[in-house]
Homo-oligomer: A and B are copies of this chain.
Amino acid sequence: MTIKDIAERCGVSVSTVSRVLNDHPDVSKMVRDRVLKVIDEVHYVPNSSARDLVKTQSDDVGLVVRGAGNPFFTEVIPVIEQAIERAGYTLLTHQINTEDDELRAGAELVRSKKLKGLILLGGCFDYSEEQIKVLDVPFVCCTYGNSFGKLRDIQYSSVTIDDMNEARKAVELLIGQGHRKIAILLDSICDSSISELRYLGYCQALKAAGIELDDDLVQETGAFNMEDAYRSMKELLQRRDDFTALFVIADSMALAAMRAIHDVGKQVPKDISVIAIDGIPMSAYVVPALTTLVQPKKEMGEEPVRILVDMIEGKAGNRHVILPTTVREGESICAIR
């Protein structure tokens, strides 16, 4: 069923049907009603590929989300949606897997849907100059920057927290409570991504406090999920029972780690203090509540939109914004005796 079929059934031309479909004013009420009636009767649905193909430009902005399961993303997306709406644009969200190439996916969207700009939620920290050339519209990296690549600042925009420094702050909070034997639970120490950055922050904090890095206290899970975090934490606990504090690079992993600690008969925070970074809702509800550095989800959603719209409208060039986290005091930390 195409627009042509509708036209024939109504005894009008395709352009008239198109006008009705697009709410153009210059169609007589009689004709409009007839067309609408037929459309409804035959359950006609326009082909958006054809529509997109013919349109020369839109007020659409794309959002490419890499890593569907990420609970922090889930919270940021609605914020972005509202901010884009408020700015007079329409958001087109596209989810991809972590294995997929967000630049490629974004470029295809831009091209097919004639997008004005792109927000990338989660992506690689090491783009090359060549790679970003597929994008010929303004774009903003949200939650990540180019820490492991060689882009110059003027070549892209980003909104992030300072992962390394925030990790450092988290560990310093532990050190401030007298802890010296501090373990870390992370995905990988060399993923050229968030895990590596936060590991570096951990190292810095130790160094600044004159604590020697103990590699045996660095526990890699190899993946970003609760099951592996739990298993890994168990391993660490079996291997070592002399650390008094733990820094975990993400809330969800921290919650699994806390259960592992519980299961070997130790208590949080009495035996082991735990701190993490993220601030997902769940971590406030568990017992004991997790002390964590909360990412500013509102700003993390609104700032990219502000930057992107400024670039699209030529009001400003590219920018890099680094957002601060806030400590959410839980019940998972105590001072060492």
Contacts and interface: CB of A to CB of B under 8 A. Distances in A.
Contact of A49 (B53, B93, B95, B287): B53
Contact of A286 (B77, B133, B286): B286
Point out which of A252, A256, A282 has the most chain B C-beta atoms below 10 A from its C-beta. Answer: A282
A33 B68 CA distance: 36
A144 B134 CA distance: 41
Given A77-B68, A282-B282, A285-B226, A45 B111 contact: yes
Interface string A283-317: 01111010000000000000000000000000000
A48 interface: yes
A43 interface: yes
Interface string A220-264: 000001110010000000000000000000001001101100100
B45 A107 contact: yes
Q: How many copies does the complex hold?
A: 2
Contacts of A289: 259
A53 B43 contact: no
Interface in A28-57: 43, 45-50, 52-53
A15 interface: no
A48 B109 CA distance: 8
Interface of A: 43, 45-50, 52-53, 68-69, 71, 74, 77, 93, 95, 104, 107-108, 110-113, 133-134, 136, 225-227, 230, 252, 255-256, 258-259, 262, 281-282, 284-287, 289
